[in-house]
Structure 1
């Protein structure tokens, strides 16, 4: 202990410095040694796991190589982003880092390649084995979660999430799909120096701290429905709705000019599908040259889609954050936030207010091309994990 003594004053005992539950840091993508700067921010605290969310402006391979050199004994999972979430909420051009100290966390990470051609049983066996080993080696850590980073252009998130989920048993899973700003051209994930496309990184985490995995969206289903009557599920394309050309029929139902459909339209008039008693968004990415609708997640013929209306995004997020803070405010929230939420916020000119809410509740993470929650791949949501200071 350190003691400070003033003449004529009693000795004052200084409290020992206690490291944060999770270390967070961010640097600009053009910093000469970005990971070196992160290393300085984090200090010498031993890490069990390091997660990096890297702006598409940065040289992703160089960032990953530098991270491997400076954190040689740490599992490092990373991905490119569609924007970052940092100290000031929505950010651009940043490298976001979350370090999980080994004093409070234990983890194991798997690189899953060729996810568009999965062999389900070997993957289930692999995940199960790693989960059991992690639990057996750290019985004192009873809280936990699984964190999935996926190539956002793979179009394979639906099958991957559905395959992994049963092997996790009671370990809740969330995650996000790697992005490329708004370009949709080049997305990557990485694990321990290996950069990959058409791949995913699954990290299983045990913790001595209380954790809560969550998913939220601000959308309310309406009474306007449509049926997918023609589709190409492999490419997530809807050709016809109600036996009419898809884009034209969608525009008619939401009251828009079919020639003026854009990202704001899709963000403001999303469609949802009912699964297991709840509604989940099936977000539209774009209209292709054939007048078909390209979706961010799985779609198939016969699917009934319901148009949803957005609630006030700021009030809704604040309410959900208050809910997560009912017992104790989280020390940090690792969040995967759909790019459509960011686009909607920008178009409605509420980005600053939304960022203020995220900042005040220590939300750190990235904007995605889709989110994972349990066995589902969804859109227009924020999924994440709240991590608290109290031990579980």
Structure 2
């Protein structure tokens, strides 16, 4: 998608390279030596961390192994994607790299394994100790945040986010669930050459640069509501809504043919749940063979779901990017963008306009199977972090 959409931006980006805080690079998955190419594009700057967002078209194991050789003295975090956000905005078939220069960042990545059977207290204790050590070891780096990548098919992101958030204290956290395009077959994360399923990598960061963690969505709740009357929470499956078969009742409420429900329907007719005064999306992944609804995030019996209406994605994203620029434009933005936003953009023919906005504001990242913000795992959002120079003269 849109592989050639960012030519004008690419030229502008070269002119602004000296102003950027991060280093970014990308390569088509067909490149025979992708990590070596990325290393060359990132330049000779020493990095505290390199993050790789890897298209599912690529041989993930090969990319990770090669990256371990190319960046032997640097922590490398990687995950598979449901699409990439590169120089031209939305794209596919890329391996995208972000380098965090060690002059401005100090990082501690933590691999968390077997998250489906998570033993909470040891994880909390380890994160708390690593957070404290990172903070005390970098007194000149006043800004902190955490970045999470997690197996997007683990069905465990909700529990994980709720578990690790308290250990971070006042350190904001954002992240994304690793994807597999629209195949939903295999999602992977990796740290320093070790590939893992049913796992996550949490990277604690301190920075000299001001960092603002954010989350945005363009959905407006309506008056249409439904109640989950039978569910299998462990598998995120809703069997019945309003005491009727789930898919059929959802289709009736949104005015669609139950035999024609697909990812475009779910993207344009999302449902939200109210948590603490705010609405959060509980996105539908698919209809299974039993006519049940499979969700991307936590679901339970008795939950009241409200149908939401998408506002104009282009206008909303432009406005949110402008809000992030109120006190000066960010030098770089990392974005974890839900696959449902991309699907909706394609359906409404807004992909190119959205890509232009992402390019203009130097957003780099990937499309996810879900997003994390604070203690929550959410859907149909973009979560991320914007980086700022301390003042307009700092380069």
Instruction: Normalising by structure 1, report the TM-score.
Output: 0.95
Q: Which runs of 5+ in 2 are unaligned?
A: 1-16
Alpha-carbon distance in 2 for matches of 1:305, 1:328: 38
Partner of 1:271: 271
SS in structure 1 of the partner of residue 279 of structure 2: strand
Partner of 1:20: 20
Partner of 1:381: 381
Deviation at 1:41, TM superposition (A): 1.1
SS in structure 2 of the partner of residue 298 of structure 1: coil
Alpha-carbon distance in 2 for matches of 1:93, 1:328: 33
Deviations 1:217-272 (A, max 9, x none): 00000000000000000000000001111001111111111111111110001000
CA contact (8 A) 2:19 2:331 kept: no
Alpha-carbon distance in 1 for matches of 2:316, 2:214: 14
Deviation at 1:18, TM superposition (A): 5.2
SS in structure 2 of the partner of residue 171 of structure 1: coil
Alpha-carbon distance in 2 for matches of 1:154, 1:209: 33
Aligned Cα root-mean-square deviation (Å): 1.1
Deviations 1:134-177 (A, max 9, x none): 00000111111100000000000000000000000000000000
Instruction: Normalising by structure 2, report the TM-score.
Output: 0.94
**Structure 1: 4+ residue segments shifted above 3 A:** 17-20
Deviations 1:18-58 (A, max 9, x none): 57310001011111211111111122110001100000011
Q: Does 1:294 align with 2:294?
A: yes
Alpha-carbon distance in 1 for matches of 2:122, 2:214: 28
Alpha-carbon distance in 2 for matches of 1:86, 1:389: 22
Alpha-carbon distance in 2 for matches of 1:236, 1:39: 40
CA contact (8 A) 2:174 2:373 kept: yes
SS in structure 1 of the partner of residue 353 of structure 2: helix
Alpha-carbon distance in 1 for matches of 2:348, 2:18: 41
CA contact (8 A) 2:20 2:332 kept: no
Q: Which runs of 5+ in 1 are unaligned?
A: 1-16
Q: Does 1:171 align with 2:171?
A: yes
Partner of 2:11: none
SS in structure 2 of the partner of residue 390 of structure 1: coil
Deviation at 1:83, TM superposition (A): 0.3
Deviations 1:327-357 (A, max 9, x none): 1111111000000000010111111011111
Partner of 1:12: none
Q: Does 1:186 align with 2:186?
A: yes
Deviations 1:107-159 (A, max 9, x none): 00000000000000110001000000000000111111100000000000000
SS in structure 2 of the partner of residue 309 of structure 1: strand
Partner of 1:151: 151
Deviation at 1:59, TM superposition (A): 0.6
